[in-house]
Chain A
């Protein structure tokens, strides 16, 4: 049965690993954004081949499990001489997987910018790069921030998968604690609680952001 003193005993050990979980989320999210933007541009490309290739890649990655993709990065690539640390493989896997979702989000954000903006930019003789950085992106990004926020939270909840490629994050630590003392109840419950306490308020925050942007 539940032992409160034991629960408080292991809490610090779990809390200590929290930074790794958060770090993995942040870096993974950054990777997803960095990889997602070129992917969305590829989807919008005027060259049909590029667009279809991007579509194929996105469909393939989105329809197959992140776990297997992580295994591929961590266990298969070393056979080709590319070795990653668990953390590196983890954030790369997260980044690649969620870049496909991000690319769709970016695409919708860019499409939401009225066509007139492109025309005005051309009329004022803005070059391609300037058009993007000064006119399009500043309008495309703010409305999609709530959606991006939701994906950030989703990725946070996916980090336990990284335990399968031996990253010592929250779940892995809980497993270690549990198997050592055969007391899984407190360890896993606390992990669940920690995730909830971090993600639920965040999702409320994102909800508030969404309302703020809708009002604009």
Chain B
């Protein structure tokens, strides 16, 4: 009897998993963009630019993701008199939130590239743009990957919150199934946890793959 129940759940849960993956990927792209943008802002020579970067990071790190989600979905539309879809609010909130955490990873990795590399590039008369692009970043990126991997998992877990703004993700579908048959609640939640775990491991595997690929040439 348990067998048939699990098979019944699966299609609906997979549909939810698809939405979860969609949100995760889109939010990851947004987060990476925010992380690099704000990371560079905080490394800028201009005090104003540094301040803007710091304000962004501290505000989004200092408030709760769920509150940010609710604010973007319920409060911002009122403020700007516009309509924001649940998907947009989700991607924006999650992207901005984890981008703020990623910003520190970007900043500290770039700072840890030895000063001698900057000087050697200058001695070869490289412009600062060339220097960043071909000498500093290629050395900073592998340093960022482990922390980015951790943030990726946190981001995936964060997407479960979009259920609370009625986005039909994995958690949402789980709750729907529950409403059909509440006696199956433990099994449904166990499956949810299991599916999230598989997703998390897949992402971890991708990051490990990237780590190995960028490690070429290093001792």
B13 CB to closest chain A CB (Å) equals 12
A189 within 8 A of B: yes
Number of residues from A at the complex interface, CB < 8 A: 42
B189 CB to closest chain A CB (Å) equals 4
Q: Is the CB of A68 within 8 A of B63?
A: no
User: Which residues of A are found within 8 Å of B153, using beta-carbon distances?
Assistant: 62-63
Q: Is the CB of A67 within 8 A of B161?
A: yes
B192 within 8 A of A: yes
User: Which residues of A are found within 8 Å of B62, using beta-carbon distances?
Assistant: 157, 195-196, 199-200, 203
Chain B 174-219 residues near chain A, CB threshold 8 A: 174-175, 178, 183, 185-186, 189-190, 192-193, 196-197, 200-201
Q: Is the CB of B71 within 8 A of A66?
A: no
The secondary-structure label for the interface of chain B is helix
B79 within 8 A of A: yes
Q: Is the CB of B193 within 8 A of A64?
A: yes
Bound CA span A174–B75, Å:
11
Q: Is the CB of B196 within 8 A of A63?
A: yes
B157 within 8 A of A: yes
A142 within 8 A of B: no
Indicate with 1 or 0, residue by residue over A70-114, a CB within 8 angstroms of chain B CB atoms.
011001110110000000000000000000000000000000000
Q: In chain B, what residue has the closest Cβ to A199?
A: B62
B207 CB to closest chain A CB (Å) equals 13
Q: In chain B, what residue has the closest Cβ to A2?
A: B79
Q: Is the CB of A185 within 8 A of B200?
A: no
Q: In chain A, what residue has the closest Cβ to B81?
A: A1
Indicate with 1 or 0, residue by residue over B52-68, a CB within 8 angstroms of chain A CB atoms.
00000011011111111
A188 within 8 A of B: yes
Name the contact of B58 in the complex, choosing from A75, A184, A200 (C-beta under 8 A): A200
Indicate with 1 or 0, residue by residue over A134-177, a CB within 8 angstroms of chain B CB atoms.
00000000000000000000000111110110000001001100
Please name 14 further chain A to chain B contacts, defined as beta carbons within 8 Å, in addition to the given A60-B197, A195-B64, sorted by A numbering: A1-B79, A63-B196, A65-B157, A66-B157, A67-B160, A67-B161, A68-B171, A69-B193, A71-B175, A79-B185, A157-B62, A161-B66, A175-B70, A185-B75
Can you list 8 A-B contacts (CB < 8 A)?
A: A1-B78, A63-B157, A71-B174, A160-B64, A174-B70, A184-B74, A191-B67, A199-B62
Top 6 A-B residue pairs of the complex, sorted by shortest distance between their CB atoms: A65-B160, A63-B200, A184-B74, A157-B64, A76-B186, A160-B66
